[in-house]
Every structure is written in C-alpha cells, then in structure tokens.
C-alpha cells in the first residue's frame, strides 16, 4: 500500500500593532508561514498596517485571512464581552469587508477567516456565537475557509453552513483534558521550547491525539498549526519548527491550495 503524503498549513496572527506601536516581526515570520491572519483594526491593526501587511503577504505567496476580534483594543481582544449573536455576526462581517478592501486593489482575495482571542475561545464553546461567525463567513463568500479550534463548536457550525473548515492546533500552547487550550494566566500555558512544540505537533499529526497537561491523550485533528508571532524569538521558533516538520516528511502548504513551484518538496511519511 502506498505511503500517505502528509500536508500541513502553518499560520500566524499578524498586523496586530497600531500607530507607532509594533507587535512581532511580521516580515521575518512571513518567510516561514503559509497563511497569515491579519488583524482588521479592532483588537489590533489600523488601515496603514493592514495595507502593508497584505502587500507583504501577497508578495511572498502567503494566503491572506481576516483575523477579526472583539472591539477591545485596550484588552487586546482577550477579555470576554457580553454580545448577542447578531452583534457577533455584524462585527465579523464588518472586519472581513475591511480587509477585503485592501486585498482587491492589490490583486488578492480573502482566503480564510480565523477569529481572535476571546471571540475565538467563546465561539469554540458557545453555539450562538459559533453560528453567527459561520453565517457571516458564508454570507460574505462561501469559498472562504473557516479556521477554528480543533473539535470545537465553531468547526461544527462552519460545516453546517457548507463552509470548508480547517481544524486548528497550536504548537506553542498546552491543552486541557477537554481539548481546550490552557488559559494564558496559568504558568504552563505556553510552550517555549521548540523541541517540545515539535514533539507535540508530530504526536497530533501521527496519532490524532494531544497529550493534555494532566496526562490524558485527547483526540484531535490537525489541519493547520498556529504559531504566535508576539513571543520573543517567534521567527526563529517558526523556522526551526518548519525545518523539523519537513525533516519528518511533512509538506508545508497553505490551506485548500494546490501544489505550487516553490512549495516544500513532498516526501512520503
């Protein structure tokens, strides 16, 4: 029987500074990733940063996605807000449109949507928010890929409205026994050692499970891997992770995209 070729997408949240403030080395990270989730001006980003980040991503052949967040710049979109499903629908649709406005003049097209922060985490657990986000994406463009936490209500909602869904896993975060991410305020929420991160990703890809911080093997599906760009040394972390995946025979390619000249060479796993 022929061996299976494994393909993964590497994504990163970026364009999250504003004004004179910068967050992360987006230019260096764009050399390592295949999908960019660009902030749309609410939790981070502004028109100038959005335009520039779109241009840099397109120049490198990186798939461009919207990274809509809650209207909470002071809290970086990571604080919970009590919003209705209609409000969530409206804010997601609005932010997709804002990013598309910078894509079209540069010859690009919105490829995917990945919610940010509290919007992402709440949609993983709240059916009303998950449904609102999925419907907003479907109403905007049925061909846009919806990215959500693996195994979450958001992924299920996306499939119900006929979207292509990418289940997301995290290289640099630890997991709870229920498949959720360990809250950031806990000391062991982040993985900063690239060898540990690579081992976690390879376990997820090869076994379909992730080892929770409490020791359980939790079922998980990995279509795309998130690397956080706001950590010190993030670009080097991403480079070493990508090299490690390639060495294990995993092809790195954007979600739902055909092979292109310049892609990582496909190898058998």
Predicted confidence at residue 17, as pLDDT, reads 85
pTM: 0.91
pLDDT, tens digit, for every residue of 176-231? 999 999 988 898 898 888 899 999 999 999 999 999 998 999 999 999 999 888 77
Q: Where are the domains of the chain?
A: 6-252
- With cut-offs at 50, 70 and 90, classify the pLDDT of residue 264: low
235: left (phi over 0), alpha (psi -120 to 50) or beta: alpha
pLDDT category at 6 given cuts 50, 70, 90 is confident
In terms of CATH, what superfamily is 6-252?
Glycoside hydrolase/deacetylase (3.20.20.370)
Which one has a higher pLDDT value, 256 or 5? Answer: 256
High-pLDDT (> 70) share of the chain, % = 93
């Amino acid at each position: 029987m022929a061996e299976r070729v494994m393909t993964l997408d590497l994504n990163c949240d970026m364009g999250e500074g504003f004004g004179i403030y910068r967050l992360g080395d987006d230019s260096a990270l764009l050399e390592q990733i295949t999908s960019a989730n660009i902030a749309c001006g609410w939790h981070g980003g502004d028109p100038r940063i959005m335009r520039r980040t779109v241009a840099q991503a397109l120049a490198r052949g990186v798939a461009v996605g919207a990274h809509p967040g809650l209207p909470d710049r002071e809290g970086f979109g990571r604080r919970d807000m009590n919003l209705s499903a209609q409000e969530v629908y409206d804010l997601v649709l609005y932010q997709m449109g804002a990013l598309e406005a910078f894509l079209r003049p540069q010859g690009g097209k919105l490829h995917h949507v990945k919610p940010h922060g509290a919007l992402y985490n709440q949609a993983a657990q709240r059916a009303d928010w998950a449904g609102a986000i999925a419907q907003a994406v479907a109403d905007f463009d049925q061909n846009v890929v919806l990215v959500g936490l693996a195994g979450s209500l958001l992924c299920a909602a996306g499939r119900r409205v006929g979207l292509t869904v990418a289940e997301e896993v995290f290289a640099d975060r630890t997991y709870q026994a229920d498949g959720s991410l360990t809250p950031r305020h806990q000391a062991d929420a982040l993985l900063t050692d690239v060898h540990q991160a690579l081992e976690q990703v390879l376990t997820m890809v090869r076994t379909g499970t992730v080892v929770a911080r409490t020791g359980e093997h939790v079922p998980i599906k990995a279509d795309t891997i998130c690397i956080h760009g706001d950590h010190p040394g993030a670009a080097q972390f991403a480079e070493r992770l990508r090299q490690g995946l390639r060495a294990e025979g995993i092809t790195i390619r954007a979600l739902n995209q055909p092979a292109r000249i310049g892609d990582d060479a496909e190898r058998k796993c």
